[in-house]
C-alpha cells in the first residue's frame, strides 16, 4: 500500500501562500503543512490552522533567511550581527556550521522557541521540518530533534529523495538533481540519529529535486511510480501576488503553477492520503532508497 503525505511548506509566508494551502486542503489534495513561527503572515496562518483542524500542521523551523523568535543576544552564533536576522543565504549558514562557529545549544534553543510559540497559540503540532532542509546536516538534526522531542513532537521530515523520484522528475535541473544525490551521503547519519532520538519519519520525500518546476505532469509522473510505503510530497503552492513580490524568493511564478498542479492528485484514488499525525510515534527505521 502507498501512503502519501502532501505537505506544503512556508505556511505563514504571505497571505497568498496561506490562502492556497487552505484551498488545497479543503479541495482534498493537501493533507499537511509546516508553519513558520515568525513570518509576515504567521498570525493569519495560525487562525486558519485553528479553523481547519483536519489540516496537519507542523513547525517549519527557520535558521536561514528569516527572523528569529529569540533575541539576537540569546543566539549570537546564529545571527547576522548587521541585521539581527538569520543569514539570508544557505551558503553563509553552512560556512559557519562546518567551521564550528554555530553553537548546538543555540540551534536547540531557537528551534524550541519556534515550536513553543506555535504550541502556545493552541496548535497541536504533528511534526517538524526545516526551511531549506537544513536538518539534512547532523549538526542541525540532533539539536532540532531534541527540541521537538522535549515538546512532545514525534515525527520529522525525511529530507532525502530516492533515486526513482529524481528520475521521475524530468523538469528538475541537472544541478539540483546532482545536489540531491550528493547530499544522500548524510542519509546514514540521519537514520542513526533518528533512531537514537526516537522520532518517526517517512520512507523519503519526493519532489525535492523538482522544487520550483513542479507542474501537473511532474505530479502524475511521481505518483505513477510511487512504490509501497509512506512518502512525503513536498510542495510550495501559493498565489503570485503583491505580498509575494515583497519576499526575496526564487519560488515566485512557480507557486501558481504548483497550486494548480496539485489537483492532479485526484487522479490517483488508490493512494492513501494521510498527514504526519498518522505516523507511529515509536522510533522509525527510516531508509534512503
Rounded Cα distance, 230 and 232, in Å: 7
Cell representation of residue 289: 532508497
Please, what are the domains in the chain?
Answer: 2-278 (3.20.20.370)
Per-residue pLDDT for 251 more than 80? no
For residue 282, name the pLDDT band (cuts at 50, 70, 90).
Answer: very low
Q: Looking at the DSSP assignment, which residues form a beta bridge with residue 206? A: 233
Residues, the chain, total? 289
pLDDT value of residue 280: 62
pLDDT value of residue 241: 85
What tens digit of pLDDT does each residue of 144-198 get?
999 999 999 999 999 999 999 999 998 999 999 999 999 999 999 999 999 999 9
Helix H or strand E encompassing 59? strand 56-61
Largest CA distance in the chain: 52
Alpha-carbon dihedral sign for residues 145, 230, 169, 26: negative
For residue 284, name the pLDDT band (cuts at 50, 70, 90).
Answer: very low
Per-residue pLDDT for 31 more than 50? yes
Mean pLDDT of 250-263: 90
Beta strand pairing call for 128-130 and 205-206? unpaired
Strands (E), 161-227: 205-206
Rounded Cα distance, 256 and 251, in Å: 10
Cell representation of residue 49: 490552522
> Among all chains, which residue has been given the C-alpha cell 532540532?
144
For residue 40, name the pLDDT band (cuts at 50, 70, 90).
Answer: very high
Q: Is the pTM of this model over 0.85?
A: yes
Per-residue pLDDT for 56 more than 60? yes
Amino acid at each position: 500500500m502507498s501512503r502519501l503525505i502532501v505537505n506544503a511548506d512556508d505556511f505563514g509566508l504571505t497571505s497568498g501562500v496561506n490562502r492556497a494551502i487552505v484551498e488545497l486542503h479543503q479541495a482534498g489534495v493537501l493533507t499537511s503543512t509546516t508553519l513558520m513561527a515568525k513570518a509576515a503572515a504567521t498570525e493569519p496562518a495560525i487562525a486558519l490552522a485553528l479553523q481547519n483542524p483536519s489540516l496537519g500542521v507542523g513547525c517549519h523551523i527557520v535558521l536561514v533567511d528569516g527572523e528569529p523568535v529569540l533575541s539576537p543576544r540569546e543566539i549570537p552564533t546564529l545571527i547576522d550581527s548587521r541585521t539581527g536576522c538569520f543569514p539570508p543565504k544557505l551558503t553563509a549558514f553552512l560556512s559557519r556550521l562546518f567551521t564550528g562557529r554555530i553553537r548546538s545549544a543555540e540551534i536547540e534553543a531557537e528551534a524550541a522557541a519556534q515550536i513553543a510559540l506555535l504550541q502556545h497559540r493552541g496548535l497541536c503540532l504533528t511534526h517538524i521540518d526545516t526551511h531549506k532542509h537544513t536538518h539534512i546536516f547532523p549538526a542541525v538534526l540532533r539539536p532540532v530533534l531534541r527540541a521537538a522531542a522535549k515538546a512532545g513532537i514525534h515525527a520529522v521530515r525525511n529530507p532525502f529523495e530516492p533515486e526513482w523520484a529524481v528520475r521521475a522528475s524530468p523538469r528538475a535541473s541537472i544541478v539540483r538533481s546532482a545536489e540531491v544525490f550528493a547530499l544522500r551521503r548524510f542519509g546514514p547519519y540521519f537514520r542513526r540519529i533518528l533512531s537514537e532520538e526516537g522520532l518517526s519519519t517517512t520512507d523519503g520525500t519526493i519532489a525535492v529535486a523538482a522544487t520550483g518546476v513542479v507542474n501537473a505532469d511532474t505530479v502524475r509522473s511521481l505518483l505513477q511510480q510511487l512504490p509501497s510505503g509512506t512518502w512525503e510530497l513536498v510542495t510550495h503552492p501559493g498565489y503570485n501576488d503583491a505580498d509575494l513580490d515583497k519576499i526575496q524568493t526564487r519560488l515566485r511564478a512557480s507557486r501558481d503553477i504548483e497550486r494548480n498542479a496539485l489537483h492532479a492528485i485526484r487522479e490517483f484514488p488508490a493512494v492513501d492520503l494521510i498527514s504526519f499525525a498518522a505516523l507511529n510515534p515509536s522510533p522509525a527505521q527510516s531508509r534512503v532508497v
